[in-house]
Every structure is written in structure tokens, then in C-alpha cells.
Amino acid sequence: MDTVLSGLATGFAVAFDPFNLMLVLVGCFVGTLIGALPGLGPINGVAILLPIAYGLGFPPESALILLAGIYYGAEYGGRISSILLNVPGDAGAVMTTLDGNPMARAGQAGRALSLSAVASFIGGTFAVILMSLFAPGLAKFAVTFSPADYVALMVFAFASLASLVGKSTVKTLLGATIGLMLATIGIDANTGVNRYTFGIPDILAGIDFLIVVVGLFGMAELLTLVEHQARGTLKSLPVDKSFVQWADLKLAKWTILRSSIIGFFIGILPGTGASVASAVAYGTEKRISDKEGTFGTGDVRGLAAPEAANNAAAGGSMVPMLTLGIPGSGTTAILLGALLMFNIQPGPMMFTQRPEVAWGLVASMYIGNVALLVINLPLVGLFARMLTIPQHYLTPLIAILAFIGIYTIVGNPHDLYMITGLGLLGWFLRKLEFSLAPVILGFVLGSLFENNLRRALSISGGDWGILVADWKSLLLYGLALLVVVLPIWLARRSRKRSGGQEAMAD
């Protein structure tokens, strides 16, 4: 405990240096903007600014503080276009569209934006606190998570999502299957064979998650808007001045807490990040607290869950990077590269060898979270006004942003065809009243599930027993069973009870 406190003291001394403080603020602000643009997410923001930070000759702790500010700024910003435009700003913000966008459509954009900012703040701060207290132990635990345990985690994720969204179970399952199929494209890691690549080199490594998100969500939304416009059924929304109420926070407080815990722990695990965390948090909350069936129609808890979780996951993924030198997500992989560029060896020795960098970064995360809340709340009104832009300006604007975003990161024209094609697919699916979230989740969870299942079986030499050999796997299967069975049992019990009461009344 003493080492933590003295470490934090060192860290805050570094982070409160006026120059570093300014960098935190700049990073958070720029990050929010980058995150808000569809297609550009934390990974691109950090990658684009890394050479700049290096080129400006900042000391390593300052450069890292700037980059980290951009990282969690982008996690905050991702929610903005999810809520306002129904287009996820980045991978972790897919689930935010489910309840965030209906709120905006109901004239509550300001309330949705401010509530999600608060949820993000709590999730992010929660993660930093856990990280500074328990980082080394948590990282040791995270690496003991074997491929078999990941399989169990994915089963749990699927289970908590099973009743996720959409009116028809069949369509939800079909949607997830389409996602699973998209995930099988590319070189199969276990055999080195090309699957469904049809001789197109651009998809040898599989389809990038971002392309699926921007295509299926962004482009499909765009086509829907154009269609409504052509039919003349679009109505523009009045300026709304709504804001988060204490009642909202009171309602969502347990949701935010639970989602922060889920997000943090999933974030720590190498290989799973904000997208899985927010999906599991949303699914779990829907199972636990959606008694009235309001999730997906603009429920504040449905909005708070993924936002608390994805920011907590962003903090969690820093744990294995700082303590073991193992990146927990794509973005932390780039931050790791940044450390190496500054000739700092990340890993177990970093906290003792370069305390000013390690603890300075941790302290800047505390400050960053506060800064983001302070920056974001006053801007809510400004962002909400975006919705009053007439649709015939807004539609091309979304298109331009999505195309630029995708082209900037990859610079491959093939990806522009991909998002257009996926957009048509998404529009078509929406016409058939499919919900698109299961498609995305099938895509993310599917490849994690497949790869880890095959890893587990390679380890055991083909013995399926490995899947139930560890207490962590068994615990997760137990939880999976619980989230499926519990709601059914509860529903039956309450029906029986009300049935009983009716019988008594007779």
C-alpha cells in the first residue's frame, strides 16, 4: 500500500506539471473528436499521433501522457456518433447505439450524451483505481486465463446475449450466424489455409472489425436516411435541452457499477477489449435489470452499461501492458511500441526503473477522466445541436466522414468497396427487420471463440476434456447457465404468483 501511495505521489507530481497537464487536456479533447468521427477510433488516433509526439521531442512521460489522453478521449468520443447518428464512432461503441440512439430520436440527445459521459467517467475512474491498487496481482491472474477459459468466457458472452435484441429469435440467431460467417474469412491460423478469400489478397488477413462496423452500421444507416428522405417521411428534431437527472443516475447506479467491474476484468484479459466488454455488460444488464422490456427502446440503463464497461476496459487493458509488457488490446500494442521508441522497456521492471513514466501515466489517467467529464458535459449542448442539421446536409456529411475515416487508416480503396457492399447488406437486413447488433457480435465473439477453441484442442491434443478442466471455465459455464435459466425461472415464478393471486381473487 505504501509503495502505491508513494508511487502515486511521484505520478501526480509528474502529471501536475503544467506542461503535462496541458497535454492531458489536449489529448483528451483531440481524442474525443477522433473518437466521435465514425471510422476513426482510439487505435488510429494513437497511431497517427505517435510519430508526431515522438517528432516533437517530448520527454517520454509527456508523450505517453498525451497518447494515453487520446486513447481514453477516443473511448469517450465514440459514444457521440453512436447516440446522435446511430453510427458507432469506434468498435467499443456498437452497443451504445442500441439505447442511445432511440433516446436521441425521442428528443433526449442531451440527456443521453450527459448520462453516458457520467457513466464513462465512473467506469474509467473505477478501472484506474483498481489498476493502481492491484495491477501486478491482476496481471498475474489474467495470464492464467487459458484458451479453454476463453472458450468458456465466449460461451458466457453468447449466453448473456442470446435474448439480446430484435423481435424474432430466429432473426437474431440468423444475424449472429451471418457474423460468424464473416469472421471465418481469411487465413485460418491453425492450418495456414485460405478460407473464403476467392483470390482477393485484400481479405487474406480477414475483414477488419472497423470495416464491418462502419459498413453494416454506418452505411446502412445512411441508406435508410436517404430512403426516408426520398419518401419524404423524415422529420427533423427540435433542439433539445435535456440533461442527465439525478433520477437517471439513481436508476442506473448498480448498472454502472456492475458494468464497470465486468468491463475492467474483460479489459485485463489479453485479446479481448472494449467491444467484448460492452457487449457482455449490456447482455448481462438486460438479463438482470430489464424487467419491463424497455432495453433497446431508450433505457438509460441500456445506455449506461456499455459506456461504463468500455471505458473500464480501456483502463483494464493497460494493466497487462504496464506490468507484464503484454498488450491487452490493439491500442495498447501501439502504446507499447511507443514505449520502445522512447527506449523504455515495458514490463515488470518499468515501475522500479522508470517510476516517473509508469506512475506519471497512471496519475494522468485519474486527471484525464476528470478532464474528460469537465470537457464533455458543457459540450453536450453543442453536440446535441448536430441533430438539428437538416438531413440533406447530415446524410452526405456522415458519408464523407465514414469514407475519409476508413480511407485514412488503411489507405486501401478496396475497403471503401467493402463498406459500401456491407452497407447494402446491412440495409437489406434492416428491411427484413433484422437487428444488426447480433451480426457484429457474432463477428467479434465468433473469431475469438473459434480461435481459442482450436487452441485449446491443440494444447490438449484433441481431448475435449480440457474445456471443463479448470475452475475458471466451470465458473463461467455456471454463470452462462445462470443468465439463461434465471430470467426464465423468475418469470415463471412471478407468473405463478400473479396466477395464484388471481385464483385467490376468484
Partner 1 sequence: MIITRVSAALFCALSLAAPALAQSDIRKPECVAPANPGGGFDLTCRVAQTGLEPHVTNPVQVTFMPGGIGAVAFNQFNTNRTDDGSAIVAWSTGSLLNIILGKYGAFDENDVRWLATAGADFGAVVVKADSEYDSLKQIMDDLAADPQSVVVGAGGSVGSQDWMKGALLMREAGGTPMQMRYVAFDGGGDAIAALLGGSIEVYTGDVGEMVPYLESGDMKILATLAPERLEAPFAEIPTAKEQGYDVEWTIMRGFYMGKDTSDEDYQKWVDAFDAAYATDAFAQIQAERGLLPLNLSGEALTASINNTMDELRTIATEAGLIQ
Chain residues in the site for partner 1 (CB under 8 A): 43-44, 47-48, 50-51, 142-147, 187-192, 194, 197, 199, 201-205, 208, 270-271, 320, 324-327, 330, 333-334, 336-337, 340-341, 343, 345-349, 409-412, 414, 451, 454-455, 458-459, 461
Q: State in angstroms the smallest separation of the CB of 465 from partner 1.
A: 15
User: ∠ at Cα 188 (186, 193), nearest 5°?
Assistant: 95
Q: Is 364 exposed, middle or buried (0-12, 13-18, 19+ CB in 10 A)?
A: buried
Q: Which is nearer to partner 1, 192 or 378 (CB)?
A: 192
Measured CA to CA, the distance from residue 250 to residue 185 in angstroms comes to: 44
- In 268-349, DSSP assigns E strands to none
**26-65 b/e with 16+ CB inside 10 Å = b?**
bbbbbbbebbbbbbbbbbbbbbebbeebeeeebbbbbbbb
Least Å distance between CB 152 and partner 1?
14
Q: Which amino acid is at 163?
A: S
The residue among 233 and 343 lying less far from partner 1, judged by its C-beta, is 343
Q: In the numeric block, which cell numbers belong to residue 153? A: 468466457
User: For partner 1, which is the closer residue by CB, 116 or 451?
Assistant: 451
Kindly state the smallest distance separating residue 253's Cβ from partner 1, in Å. Answer: 34
Any bridge partners for residue 187, and if so which? Answer: 194
Residue written as grid cell 473500464: 312
Write the CB contacts of 262 (distance below 8 Å, at least 6 apart in sequence): 277, 280, 281, 284, 309, 312
CA dihedral 65, 41, 407, 226 (to 10 degrees): -150
Closer to partner 1 by CB, 9 or 56: give it: 56
Shorter beta-carbon distance to partner 1: residue 409 or 480: 409
Q: How many CB atoms lie within 10 A of CB 250?
A: 9
* Least separation in angstroms between CB 345 and partner 1: 4
Q: How far is the CB of 210 from partner 1 (least distance, A)?
A: 10
- Residue (194 or 420) nearer to partner 1, CB: 194
* 59 versus 347: smaller Cβ distance to partner 1: 347
Instruction: State the minimum distance, in angstroms, from the CB of residue 16 to partner 1.
Output: 29
> Of 268 and 305, which CB lies nearer to partner 1 in the complex structure?
268
Q: How far is the CB of 406 from partner 1 (least distance, A)?
A: 12
Dihedral sign of CA atoms 161, 166, 171, 176 in order: negative
Minimum CB–partner distance for residue 326 and partner 1 (Å): 5
Pairing, β 186-187 against β 194-195: antiparallel
